[in-house]
């Protein structure tokens, strides 16, 4: 049976898209290779948010192309945002690439792979259940010509947001991502996403709920709803009802699914937080107390140049409203340093907002010019050494804040959803609190998938170490 290896760069949305492609290829009879050298098909799902991510993917593919010398039938493909942005131009640098599929063509990748391998007609991948073909009835792959013609498809496709809904679940998996929309209409001047992901498009609530019901029946207890700007879900397609936005209606419907214990979402935009969504953090018990709230800059001057649509003062007011709705809420953020024209005064304004907001964690990025974005042609592009200096200084401020905030949890009892083996130590288990804090505890199979009360005994700053609290003895922890 042919095997496929998928390498994913970038955000949770990319992880979810790769999972869908994997699911559809498995339905065609493909197996998942453990490594690149074992694969007949290698696909890289790409990110374009920063130049570094694109270069990493290009360099990776350049190295993989060497495998074709020993395995000329090997299929190499790019998917996702960089594929969408660069299209056939990729072939000028990497002529050994066979497949380039854009962000609205993930559901066609299985078809494209079959065509490249010379396999006969296969069922269309429409997002519905796909039945694996009888491989014995299919013709053998045709012998490759000297250079097989590459397949490039980056066209837009109506309804593509509805095609990412199948899952590949590992044994005893208890968390899952659910894609609820695609695209973005915000046009921030630094961001390439609107051109790589297209216009905002949302899935129907009923369709999403059916997917979540299937996940719950499969043992999943926590879902994370995904969208480029997730809290603007459905604003063009669906009406408000009783003063509730489509997104809040969706949150309520997902929280009502039996078996789902926790609901998260990412990534929102500050302008999408209306009163109904802020209030939801105080009235929906299953909605986890964590918001990833991108700031980007604390300078009002730069926020205007970025086209962010809010001021630093409005942002801090929203922070206060969220903490009023849920005093235990955790806030994380994205910040760009070195945006064109950023002065020391602008940077100081960002430091001020960071200290006022008291973020639990911040993802700090050096500005990277992106093709066809307004910021890329702005005057006063800053040198890399200035960006690096400000990056390090801001990281130091965040580390100071995080250490102080996280020490408050030591000695406290919290609820952890135990997910399984720790990524860094297979002899320990890890899980997350409702506020999205990573907690490490001893490995005990009885606890996998449990909402376990634990007592925090120490922290390294961002990771916590805990032991089950006395109340954990009252749990039914019988292994299923």
Is 368 within 8 Å of 391 (Cβ atoms)?
A: no
pLDDT score recorded for residue 460: 84
Closest CA to 354 of 318, 397, 387, 325: 397
Give pLDDT tens digits for 449-467. Answer: 999 999 999 998 889 999 9
Whether residue 138 is predicted with pLDDT greater than 60 in this model: the reply is no
Whether residue 124 is predicted with pLDDT greater than 70 in this model: the reply is no
Pairing of strands 175-179, 222-226: parallel
Give pLDDT tens digits for 203-252. Answer: 999 999 999 999 999 999 999 999 999 999 999 999 999 999 999 999 99
pLDDT score recorded for residue 280: 98
Mean pLDDT to the nearest integer, 104-113: 97
pLDDT score recorded for residue 473: 55
The residue extents of the domains of the chain are 3-153, 160-407, 413-474
Peptide bond into 267 cis (omega under 30): yes
Give pLDDT tens digits for 386-421. Answer: 999 999 999 999 999 999 998 999 999 999 999 999
Class of domain 413-474: mainly beta
pLDDT score recorded for residue 277: 98
Give pLDDT tens digits for 358-370. Answer: 999 999 999 999 9
Q: How far apart are the first and last CA of the chain?
A: 33
DSSP 168-223: -PPTT--EEEEE-EE------TT--HHHHH-S-EE--HHHHHHHHHHHHHTT--EE
Q: How far apart, in whole angstroms, are the C-alpha atoms of residue 66 and residue 154?
A: 26
Whether residue 470 is predicted with pLDDT greater than 80 in this model: the reply is no
Give pLDDT tens digits for 241-277. Answer: 999 999 999 999 999 999 999 999 999 999 999 999 9
Provide the phi-psi class of 436: left if phi over 0, else alpha when psi is between -120 and 50, else beta.
left
Across 29-33, 37-41, 385-389, 472-476, least confident range: 472-476
Give pLDDT tens digits for 295-313. Answer: 999 999 999 999 999 999 9
Whether residue 426 is predicted with pLDDT greater than 90 in this model: the reply is no
Q: Tell me the average pLDDT of the chain.
A: 92
Buried b (16+ CB within 10 A) or exposed e, 288-320: bbbbbbbbbbbbbebbebbebebebeebbebbe
Share of the chain above pLDDT 70, in %: 92
Q: How far apart, in whole angstroms, are the C-alpha atoms of residue 97 and residue 109?
A: 14
Q: Into which CATH architecture does domain 160-407 fall?
A: Alpha-Beta Horseshoe (3.80)
Q: Tell me which fold the domain 3-153 belongs to.
A: Rossmann fold (3.40.50)
pLDDT score recorded for residue 89: 96
């Amino acid at each position: 049976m042919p095997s496929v290896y998928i390498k994913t760069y970038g955000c949770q949305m990319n992880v979810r898209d790769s999972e869908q492609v994997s699911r559809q290829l498995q339905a065609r009879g493909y197996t998942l290779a453990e490594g690149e050298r074992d694969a007949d098909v290698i696909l890289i799902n790409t990110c374009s948010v920063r130049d570094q991510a694109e270069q990493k993917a290009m360099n990776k593919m350049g190295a993989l192309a060497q495998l074709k010398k020993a395995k000329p039938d090997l299929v190499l493909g790019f998917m996702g945002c960089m594929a969408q942005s660069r299209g056939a131009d990729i072939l000028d640098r990497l002529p050994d690439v066979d497949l380039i599929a854009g962000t609205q063509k993930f559901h066609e990748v299985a078809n494209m792979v079959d065509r490249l391998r010379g396999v006969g007609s296969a069922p269309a991948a429409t997002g519905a259940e796909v039945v694996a073909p009888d491989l014995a009835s299919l013709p053998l792959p045709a012998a490759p010509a000297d250079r097989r013609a590459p397949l490039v498809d980056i066209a837009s496709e109506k309804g593509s947001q509805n095609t990412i809904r199948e899952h590949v679940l590992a044994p005893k998996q208890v968390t899952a991502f659910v894609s609820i929309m695609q695209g973005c209409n915000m046009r921030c001047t630094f961001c390439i996403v609107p051109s790589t992901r297209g216009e905002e498009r949302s899935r129907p609530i009923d369709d999403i709920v059916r997917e979540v019901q299937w996940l719950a029946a499969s043992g999943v207890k926590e879902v994370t709803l995904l969208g480029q700007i997730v809290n603007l879900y459905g604003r063009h397609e669906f009406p408000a009802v009783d003063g509730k936005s489509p997104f809040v209606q969706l949150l309520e419907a997902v929280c009502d699914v039996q078996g789902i214990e926790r609901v998260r979402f990412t990534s929102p935009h500050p302008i999408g937080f209306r009163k109904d969504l802020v209030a939801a953090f105080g009235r929906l018990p299953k909605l986890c107390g964590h918001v990833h709230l991108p700031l980007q800059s604390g300078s009002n001057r730069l926020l205007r140049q970025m086209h962010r649509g809010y001021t630093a003062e409005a942002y801090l007011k929203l922070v206060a409203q969220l903490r009023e709705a849920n005093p235990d809420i955790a806030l994380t953020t994205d910040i760009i340093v070195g945006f064109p024209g950023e002065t020391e005064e602008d940077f100081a304004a960002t430091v001020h907002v960071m200290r006022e907001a008291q973020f639990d964690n911040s993802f700090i990025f050096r500005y990277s010019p992106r093709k066809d974005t307004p910021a890329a042609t702005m005057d006063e592009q800053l040198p890399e050494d200035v960006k690096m200096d400000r990056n390090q200084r801001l990281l130091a401020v965040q580390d100071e804040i995080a250490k102080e905030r996280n020490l408050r949890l030591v000695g406290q009892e919290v609820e952890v959803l135990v997910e399984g083996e720790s990524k860094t130590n297979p002899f320990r288990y890890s899980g997350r609190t409702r506020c999205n804090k990573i907690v490490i505890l001893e490995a005990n199979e009885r606890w996998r998938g449990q909402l376990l009360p634990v007592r925090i005994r120490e922290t390294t700053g961002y990771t916590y170490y805990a032991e089950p609290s006395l109340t954990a003895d009252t749990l039914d922890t019988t292994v299923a």
